[in-house]
Amino acid sequence: MKKHSILRVVAKILIPFVLLFALYVQFHGDFGPGGGFQAGVIFAAGIILYTLVFGLDTAREVCPKRVLECLVAGGLLLYGLVGTLGILLGDRFLDYSVLADHSGQHIGILLVELGVGVTVAAVVVSIFFVFVDRGRH
């Protein structure tokens, strides 16, 4: 689709807003609707739009395979580590109240949702990449 200039321009205008909206949904999830899962999917949708318009090879340069693989595991690890931090600080697994005096729950939920978002985005993008890669040959 590289030759369709209208698609290219519209996608270029749209993608930053999609990614920004994903970040908004991610970090605003404890105030309004949304959260890590939705944010991850929206972020992945932005990258998928990029892949559809600019091709898999360009998108692979933006999100290298190794980075994606690290992110897939990294999000889950972040979730587990935040949970373990609760034990280390003398409370129960996944109890965030000990992380800070008053807003411990808040910080814990924010970090955990970040882990969810990172893993979901990386998994969706990876699955899409292997699908497209298989479709080419």
Partner 1 sequence: MILLSLLVATAVAIILLRDLFAAVMLSGIFSLLSAGLFVVMDAVDVAFTEAAVGAGIATVLMLGTLTQTSTRERPAPRLDWSALVVVVLTGTALVIGTLDMPAYGDPTAPIHQHVAPAYIAQNVGKQSGRSETDDDDFQGHVPNMVTAILASYRGYDTLGELAVIFTAGVGVMLLLSGLPPTAGDTPETNPAESEAGVDA
# binding residues, partner 1 (CB under 8 A): 56
- Say whether residue 26 binds partner 1 (CB under 8 A): no
Binding-site member from 17, 23, 30, 81 for partner 1 (CB under 8 A): 30
The residues near 124 (Cβ < 8 Å, ≥ 6 apart) are 40, 41, 44, 48
Rounded distance between C-alpha atoms, residue 38 and residue 22, angstroms: 8
Q: Tally helices (H) and strands (E) across the chain.
A: 5, 0
Binding-site member from 47, 63, 85, 108 for partner 1 (CB under 8 A): 108
The separation between the first and the last C-alpha atoms of the chain, rounded to the nearest angstrom, is 18
- Say whether residue 48 binds partner 1 (CB under 8 A): yes
Rounded distance between C-alpha atoms, residue 45 and residue 29, angstroms: 18
Nearer of residues 11 and 38 to partner 1, judged by Cβ: 38
- Say whether residue 25 binds partner 1 (CB under 8 A): yes
Nearer of residues 1 and 133 to partner 1, judged by Cβ: 133
CB 28 within 8 A of CB 18: no
Which residue is associated with the tokens 């998108």? Answer: 59
- Say whether residue 53 binds partner 1 (CB under 8 A): no
Q: Catalog residues that contact partner 1 under the rule CB under 8 A.
A: 25, 29-38, 41-42, 44-45, 48, 57, 69, 72-73, 75-76, 79-80, 83, 94-97, 102-106, 108-109, 112-113, 115-116, 119-120, 122-124, 126-128, 130-137
